[in-house]
């Protein structure tokens, strides 16, 4: 958890397989651009040789478990291009993880910056401003 321990505002989660670093993700209690009480995870990266093996999901779950200790919701952002296979795969994966965002109708090839949120069920009574 870094020098600040579990209460540090921002930490970097690392995923190892044996001694090999295969991925990382960040989690932040208060990044400055989310509503009060809404944490954030980002900087999700997995070595291409280890993608589609559950590393990304494990990193997200670790980040979300940490954020759930203080946050009532979690926000992510990503660039989405309508019709792009990678964008569509990410969109489906984020929805599977419980993240919902704007459902803007786009033309093929149009790109937007999507902001998606997910409420933490353990803090469902927390209201976001």
Q: Is residue 26 part of a domain?
A: yes
- The number of domains in the chain is 1
Q: Are 38 and 72 in contact (CB under 8 A)?
A: yes
Contacts 24+ apart (CB under 8 A), 122-127: 122/68, 123/37, 123/68, 123/71, 123/72, 123/73, 124/72, 125/72, 126/37, 126/71, 126/72, 126/73, 127/37, 127/72
Q: Are 61 and 41 in contact (CB under 8 A)?
A: no
Confidence at 104, pLDDT banded by 50, 70, 90: confident
Q: Is residue 128 part of a domain?
A: no
* Centroid of chain to Cα 93: 11
Give yes or no for residue 129 having a pLDDT over 70.
no
User: 31: number of CA atoms within 13 Å, CB side?
Assistant: 19
Q: Is residue 126 part of a domain?
A: no
Domain that holds residue 92: 5-121
Return the pLDDT at 64. 94
Q: Supply the mean pLDDT for the chain.
A: 88
pTM (predicted TM-score): 0.81
pLDDT digits (tens, 9 = 90+) for 24-79: 999 999 999 999 999 999 899 999 999 999 999 999 999 999 999 999 999 999 99
Q: Is residue 113 part of a domain?
A: yes
């Amino acid at each position: 958890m870094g020098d600040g321990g579990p209460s540090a505002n921002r930490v970097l989660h690392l995923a190892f397989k044996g001694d090999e670093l295969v991925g990382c993700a960040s989690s932040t209690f208060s990044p400055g651009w989310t509503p009060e009480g809404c944490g954030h995870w980002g900087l999700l990266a997995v070595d291409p040789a280890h993608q589609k093996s559950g590393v990304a999901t494990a990193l997200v779950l670790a980040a979300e478990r940490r954020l759930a200790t203080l946050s009532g919701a979690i926000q992510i952002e990503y660039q989405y291009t309508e019709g792009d296979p990678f964008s569509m795969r990410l969109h489906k994966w984020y929805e599977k993880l419980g993240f919902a965002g704007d459902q803007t109708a786009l033309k093929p090839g149009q790109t937007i910056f999507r902001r998606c949120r997910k409420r933490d069920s353990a803090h469902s009574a927390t209201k976001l401003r």
